[in-house]
Structure 1
Amino acid sequence: MSALERLAATIAERKGADPDTSWTAKLLSKGPEKCAEKFGEEAVEAIIEAVKGDRDKLVSEAADALYHLLVMLAARDLTLADVEAELDRREGRSGIAEKAARG
């Protein structure tokens, strides 16, 4: 099991936890909109570090963004496996063709 899979499993476990004892449960208790807002904030922070060029800070912000992405998905009852299935579906297909199909 990868670190990302372990993180996703921990988030799923914390879904029903006490918000006073779990940061993840606290985020989830605020609803999908707040979870999406937090993901957006972390994504922007990762973008800023990517532009600045500090690799260590970018890695840290990317980890935060991945955590908040998984929390946002959990808030909508979606999983890492759901996203992986979509990536599997797209595998071997040109990115240009994929965008055109969604267009």
Structure 2
Amino acid sequence: MHVFILFLIILFSVLYSSKRHPKSIPFRPSQLHENDKLLLDVRDYIEAHQHPLNVGQCHIPLAYLKRNFSEINQKELILLASSLREVSVAERFLQRKSVRVVGYHIV
């Protein structure tokens, strides 16, 4: 019985760690202008159109990131997203492609 409970605890801890928070740090809007990194906007088209940011950025919605990854030509970038979930999904994908996410901003 104790072995089964221990197994469940280990299983839940592994599953919980797979839904980890982003490793990158949050940025304030004022810091976005001061940085020379690429700003990658992963919000969907409607949200990006309704709440545009007037900063130099590349806009690839999260759903199209895998398909349009070749448009990203830098090894370090900052993510612009509408939720922490978008940030962590995009960050995990980009890390597998050897792109370092140095920060993020939730819009």
Structure holding more strand per residue: 2
Which structure is higher in RCO with an 8 Å CA cutoff and minimum separation 6? Answer: 2
Q: TM-score, with normalisation over the residues of structure 1?
A: 0.28
Higher Cα Rg, which structure: 2
Q: TM-score, with normalisation over the residues of structure 2?
A: 0.27
Structure holding more helix per residue: 1
